[in-house]
Amino acid sequence: MWRLLCVSQFYALLFVYTYLGLTPHPEQSVPVFNDLLMHFAGYSVAAVSISFARPYWPIWQRILFLLVYSIAIEIAQHFHPPRTFSLMDILANAGGILLGLALVILLQITCKPFNRLLYWQTRPNTHAS
């Protein structure tokens, strides 16, 4: 059940990010403070989220998945005026991805309870009858 919850929350997060990324006026849904800071923070959260949803994916695969998703959203924005493609948004997203994954790695190294939570119910059952 835990793994299903982790995977569900990750894909729900992507759904929300896609909606906010492609809606013409996202400021009507959420308050906008600093666009680049929001991109950075949002993708930091996505990096932690994907680590819970897909803990056995190597780090490079998590980075690639989120980066390709981020670029795809920016390209799609080009075709949805008044939204526009922004290289700075992609750079902020990439920075957020790296920070989020660095936090996950740091917690994996220093905090055993975090590791147990991250990998809970994903290991094969070694206590077979």
CA dist 113 and 108 (Å) reads: 9
The structure's pTM equals 0.88
Give me the tens of pLDDT residue by residue for the chain, a chain 129 residues long: 888 999 999 999 999 999 999 988 877 777 778 889 999 999 999 999 999 999 999 999 999 999 999 999 999 999 988 889 999 999 999 999 999 999 999 999 999 899 889 988 655 554 444
For position 126, what pLDDT does the model report? 47
